Amino acid sequence: MQLIQAKDYDDMSRKAANIISAQVIMKPNCVLGLATGSTPLGTYSNLINWYKKGDLDFSQVSSVNLDEYRGLPADNDQSYRYFMKTNLFDQVNIDQSRTYVPNGMEPDSDKACRDHDNIINELGGIDLQLLGLGLNGHIGFNEPADEFPKGTHCVDLTQSTIEANSRFFASIDEVPTQAYTMGIQSIMLAKKILIIASGANKAEIIAKAFLGPVTPEVPASILQMHPDVTLVADEAALSAYLKQKSEMEAN
């Protein structure tokens, strides 16, 4: 794992956006794996600014999103399709017919998941997958479990994830309880992985994920096995990781 230390959220966002923009410049028709949540907002806003300045061109890029709530239509302002349109797609020159988010309105969950996996395969796989990190170690919506799920699947969200996401909804009762998410295998097959984290509330889980045992109880810990992972995180998020690492090295 390559670690890039950032000062704060803005610095993390700039550094992460630089890595994504390098990918787009080096391979204009690349496949980007994208994430939602609060962490990537600053990254996306840098990409939008650089596109507006003429430094970036998304016209040949395809994108695949990690996940979508089951049962939310694309025009619901809490759906991940809506999030991506508002926070990135509508503000750059990406061809939206080549942006793929799992179809939350597909009632047949097997079909929704198969369709998403087929799209990833037909695109030839993901060149760069951007990930955020859940407080319980989830990546996408791969929650702590007894085994690592493989392809795209339907998940029951854990109480901790429902509570964390309730800040975006009028009340906790409105948070969907299920989601379609890319599986661990689909994520691990990405050629490069960029994981971003900011803030003290992520400190404990970063240490666990990157220094603890590889276990489906901490889904992000599998990233220790990926050959090309970059973690961009700020000082607050790295505090426990750096402390534990120096203790391990001293022993």
Q: Which of 17, 56, 139, 233 binds ligand F6R (CB under 6 A)?
A: 139
Residue 137 within binding range of ligand F6R, rule CB under 6 A: no
86 binding ligand F6R? (CB under 6 A): no
Contacts of 35 (CB under 8 A, 6+ apart): 65, 66, 130, 131, 132, 140
Distance between CA atoms of 197 and 206, rounded to whole angstroms?
A: 8
Tell me if 66 sits within 8 A of 23, measured CB to CB: no
Residue number with CB closer to ligand F6R (12 or 48): 12
> Whose structure tokens read 């961009």?
232
Q: Is 143 a catalytic residue?
A: yes
Residue 67 burial (C-beta neighbours within 10 Å; 0-12, 13-18, 19+): buried
State which H helix or E strand residue 63 sits in.
strand 62-65
If binding means CB under 6 A, how many residues of this protein chain bind ligand F6R?
14
Q: In terms of DSSP bridges, do strands 192-197 and 229-234 run parallel, antiparallel, or are they unpaired?
A: parallel
Tell me: does residue 153 bind ligand F6R (CB under 6 A): no
Closest CB to ligand F6R among 62 and 65?
Answer: 65
Q: Is 6 in the site for ligand F6R (CB under 6 A)?
A: no
- Please, what is the Cα angle at 150 between 130 and 237, to 5 degrees? 35
From 65, 67, 103, 234, the catalytic residue: 67
Query: From its phi and psi, is residue 125 left (phi > 0), alpha (psi between -120 and 50) or beta?
Result: left
Closest to ligand F6R by CB, 60 vs 166, is 166
Site string for ligand F6R, 19-48 (x = CB under 6 A): ----------------xxxxx---------
Q: Is 221 in the site for ligand F6R (CB under 6 A)?
A: no
Closer residue to ligand F6R (CB): 38 or 246: 38
x-or-dash string of contact with ligand F6R, 177-216, rule CB under 6 A: ----------------------------------------
Contacts with ligand F6R, residue ranges (CB under 6 A): 35-39, 66-67, 132-134, 138-141
